[in-house]
Amino acid sequence: MRAHEIEELKKLPLFSDMNPENMECLLDAALLQKFPAGVVLIHEGTEADFLHVLIDGLAENYTEQDGGECGISLINPISTFIPAAIVSNQPYLSSARTLTESRVLLIPAARVRELSDRDVGFARAIVSELALAYRGSVKKLKGYMARSSIERLANWILAEAQKNSPQTNIVIPFDRSTLASHIGTTRENLSRNLAYLTEHGVRIRGREIVIDDKEQLTLFARPQRLIDDPTS
């Protein structure tokens, strides 16, 4: 890695409380790589060899079942990929791939376990990553159990709009099949749901979703803090 890249990485929350010598040891074994969209970085069922950290871009965790794919989670920077497999030294339970051009830091799994054993600050950061992943999984499960696919779509639109605040228009950053997979529906049903939401304050222009009446959309979606608030 170049010197400026190492300095950039040292500022990440994952490493901010590490002993400087331990951080040097960790980054000395790491690789920072750029990947185009559509590259599979992790294959479900294989041994966990690297801790992947998404520095910028967009990625997804997914599983292949009965010839089809199901989206598990979308990964935004700066986040780790499936850290539980690294900590437990067990096979990956899902696959992961890039959805856009992405920069990914790859840290050998053995080095992660070694340094988390001897560096309390790094161990705390890993525990925090595990907690965030767990809470994200529970929130998504609650959404599946309590909501219809159109309600999940409406809340996804609101969440994306919040990221772009104060701009309310959003652009779906991937194809509709991927979006359908991550809200637990089919592409055909997604198209019907998008059309239905035009009665609740939105307009659809290809991959762009224009929110004309955010209050009306919010009344339909009924977001909940313990499902939709990323800080909860």
Same domain, 126 and 164: no
**Who wins on pLDDT, 1 or 74?**
74
Full-model pTM: 0.89
Spatial contact of 68 and 186, defined as CB atoms under 8 Å apart: no
Spatial contact of 208 and 169, defined as CB atoms under 8 Å apart: yes
Phi/psi class of residue 173: alpha, beta or left (left: φ > 0; alpha: ψ in -120 to 50)? alpha
Split into its structural domains, the chain has a count of 2
Same domain, 152 and 106: no
Residue 142 resides in a domain: no
Residue 171 resides in a domain: yes
Percent of the chain with pLDDT over 70: 98
Residue 157 resides in a domain: yes
What per-residue confidence (pLDDT) applies to 165? 67
For the domain that residue 7 is a member of, what is the CATH number? Answer: 2.60.120.10
For residue 165, the SS3 value is coil
Spatial contact of 55 and 5, defined as CB atoms under 8 Å apart: no
For the domain that residue 177 is a member of, what is the CATH number? Answer: 1.10.10.10
Cα–Cα distance, 112 to 114 (Å, whole number): 5
Tokens of 165: 């605040």
Spatial contact of 58 and 99, defined as CB atoms under 8 Å apart: yes
Cα–Cα distance, 33 to 51 (Å, whole number): 13
pLDDT per residue as tens digits for the range 17-31: 999 999 999 999 999
Q: How many residues does the chain have?
A: 232
What per-residue confidence (pLDDT) applies to 59? 96
What per-residue confidence (pLDDT) applies to 163? 82
The parent domain of residue 215 ranges over 147-228
Spatial contact of 32 and 84, defined as CB atoms under 8 Å apart: no
What per-residue confidence (pLDDT) applies to 211? 93
Residue 40 resides in a domain: yes
Residue 17 resides in a domain: yes
